[in-house]
Amino acid sequence: MLSLARRAGQALATALLASLVVWALLPFAPGDPAARYLEARHVTAPTAEQLAQARADLGLDRSPPEQYARWLGGVVRGDLGESARSGVPVSRVITERVPATLRLTVATVLLALVVSVPLALAGAAFPGRRPDAVGRAVALLGAALPSFVVGLLLIEFVVVRWGVGSVVSTGGWSQVWFPALALALYPIARWSRLLRAGLLEALRSDHVTVATARGASRARVLLVHALPNAAVPSITVLAMTIGFLLGGVAIVENVFSWPGLGREIVLAVTARDLPVVQGFALVMAVVWVAVSLLADVVTALVDPRLRTGSRG
């Protein structure tokens, strides 16, 4: 419990540090932030009055500590500023894209789990045999092919040549599976081999040997005795993958025209919409910290030795 409390304190400190770094994107970025802000609003030759007003709108007419305190206070209230392109609140810009990104994340994780867990179980049950060789081949393929390449191949051979699905996506469940498949291949490769290694190690442990000696079936030994212990190291990797996906996978989302966070951040960067970039970076930093903390909590629940930081 003390270990988790300490980890929560570290997570809070990390989030505050991340907020400081994200805030510094605006006032300390190269060039004049006010000029970039106006440029995003298609004001190419701003007057001195327009620049002064833009600096006031962005809070740049205050000292850096005042700017940060004012900005952080707004963040706590849910105010991330306004988009330089549209004048729409940044929080609204982000929340409108969240459902599509959540759908893509859920679909990707489900696909990866449905494939990687059976591959790992088969590889651990038959090491060095054909099921294990299939798992190795899938892992090699997943590690070798970038997600955007898989996405382009799916579009070329499945959508264009076979006429299945559509290149243009509205973000619905019916259109999520192609981008999810493109994103799931690498997690399948990583999770299956990591879980297989954990299963093989767990199968050599004393309590599994005792269970086998008592006549437990091979399936029961794998699923009941070995799998829970083998899953502990995979929880952190799973959490990292979820955090990565929630951040929006920009290239794959653009390949499939998926209206998620990744596509939005590309548009914001292209338009030099710094308030949106700033808000997006902050949200993603908080998501990473929260997912990491959640992984620690789940790991502690699965392995009670971690609740007090003891491994012995």
Q: Residue 187: name the closest of 132, 134, 141 by CA.
A: 141
- Dump pLDDT digits (tens) for 176-214: 888 999 999 999 999 999 999 988 888 888 877 887 788
Q: Residue 270: name the closest of 85, 58, 99, 22 by CA.
A: 85
- Average pLDDT over the chain reads 83
pTM for the structure as a whole: 0.80
Is the pLDDT assigned to residue 96 strictly greater than 70? yes
What would the mean pLDDT of 91-104 be, rounded to a whole number?
90
Model confidence band, residue 162 (pLDDT cutoffs 50, 70, 90): confident
Model confidence band, residue 137 (pLDDT cutoffs 50, 70, 90): very high
Domain ranges (residues) in the chain: 98-270
Spatial contact of 3 and 308, defined as CB atoms under 8 Å apart: yes
**Better-predicted residue by pLDDT, 31 or 106:** 106
Domain 98-270 has CATH 3.30.9.90: no
